[in-house]
Amino acid sequence: MTSNLINTLLVLSVLLVITINLSYFCTKETAHYSVVKDSRFSIENLTRSITITTASHTTPSSLIPPFIPFRSTFVTSPKYSLAACRIQKNLSTILLNLFCYLNTPRKFSRKASSLTIEFKNYLSQETCNATHATHIATNTTFSTKLAIIRDPVERFLSGFVDKCIHEAEHKDSRCYGCHKNMICVLKEQYIRFQLIAEAKLSSFSYEDRHFAPMSWFCDFDHETIKNYKFLYFGETEEQQGGTINELMDVLDDHGVDNSTISHILEELSANRTKHSTSGSAIRMKVGQEMRKNAEAMRLLYLIYENDYKVFNLKSPFAQT
């Protein structure tokens, strides 16, 4: 069989798969896929890059790549020369509250009762001092730039229980209407992350923001990632206590007074955010089922394996 014939058969196979996928997307509720009618979803545009790839005899990795530009938000405290990147499901609510308290302690204390609750209905982002500042990764104003990371699969599991089970009880459309079906959610996310990585999907969903690889946040790339101080958030109480203590050390190094640190430490040690699922019975049950499901682990591997490599974390996946 000649090389040209092989290439032709490969292209025809890819076209068939794309046609099936397009039919799949168009049958979903349009509210979930706001860009389905975009010209970028035409057969011509979707197949152009694949045809070029086939012609050059290269096969792209099936792993979701790291360092894709994504939605990044930061909290800053110019007074203490301190900034932090907020990654969803990695203490993002606590970081928002903490920096608001550092910047406006009196206003915060009057309007919000706890550092572990969401207070956005009480205090504006402007009051809290540029909580959505951008380009912090290369900003030399801040001597320390924090980012909190955790095991990627545990982060997904936490998000799945919080968003696809708890929140889905009141919002049928949450998690693409998959009705607590993890495989359904993972398949949806894998397809969407492929499209985002290829710059073919510009509208990010609520679920995208909570399940996207950590290496997509914070304006990370091969160079800017070196500018961050990382705190690892584990799954046990002991590990989480250690992270809180490390965070207090950072505040102390930046000149935050002892009474403020003591108050923050007391708040974070005594309370949990409403989004926390760590240690819950349902989290343990869903986690056990997930690890026994070969298809779930395969999809998790495809989505998050590069996060394990980027952040030098021990991967739970067998070599495939």
HSE of 251 in the Cβ direction (CA atoms, 13 Å)? 22
The amino acid at 256: V
What SS3 state is found at 173? Answer: coil
Tell me, what's the pLDDT at 22?
A: 43
Q: Which band of pLDDT confidence, cut at 50, 70 and 90, is reported for residue 66?
A: very high
Tell me what the pLDDT averaged over the chain comes to: 80
What SS3 state is found at 178? Answer: coil
Using CA atoms, how far apart are residues 54 and 4, in angstroms rounded to an integer? 11
As given in the structure block, the two tokens for residue 10 are 């490969």
Q: Where are the alpha helices (DSSP H) in 132-280?
A: 152-159, 182-197, 206-211, 237-253, 258-270
Q: Which of 65-69, 111-115, 219-223 has the lowest mean pLDDT?
A: 111-115
The amino acid at 313: L
pLDDT in tens, 289-300: 999 999 999 999
Tokens 């909570």 locate to: 210
Tell me, what's the pLDDT at 25?
A: 40
Task: Tell me the C-alpha to C-alpha distance, in Å, between residue 263 and each of 253, 266, 267.
Answer: 17, 5, 6
Tell me, what's the pLDDT at 275?
A: 46
Tell me, what's the pLDDT at 8?
A: 58
Burial of 273 by CB count in 10 Å (0-12 exposed, 13-18 middle, 19+ buried)?
middle
More confident residue, 74 or 12: 74
Tell me, what's the pLDDT at 204?
A: 95
> In percent, how much of the chain has pLDDT > 70?
71
Which of 235, 225, 189, 183 is CA-nearest to residue 210?
189
pLDDT in tens, 115-162: 876 555 455 555 565 545 667 888 888 999 999 999 999 999 999 999
More confident residue, 78 or 150: 150
- 196-201 mean pLDDT: 96
Identity of the highest mean pLDDT range in 73-82, 262-271, 304-313: 304-313
Please give the torsion angle defined by the CA atoms of residues 268, 273, 279 and 284, in that order, rounded to the nearest 10 degrees. -160
Ordered by start, the domain boundaries in the chain are 3-55, 73-310
What SS3 state is found at 76? Answer: strand
Using CA atoms, how far apart are residues 213 and 311, in angstroms rounded to an integer? 11
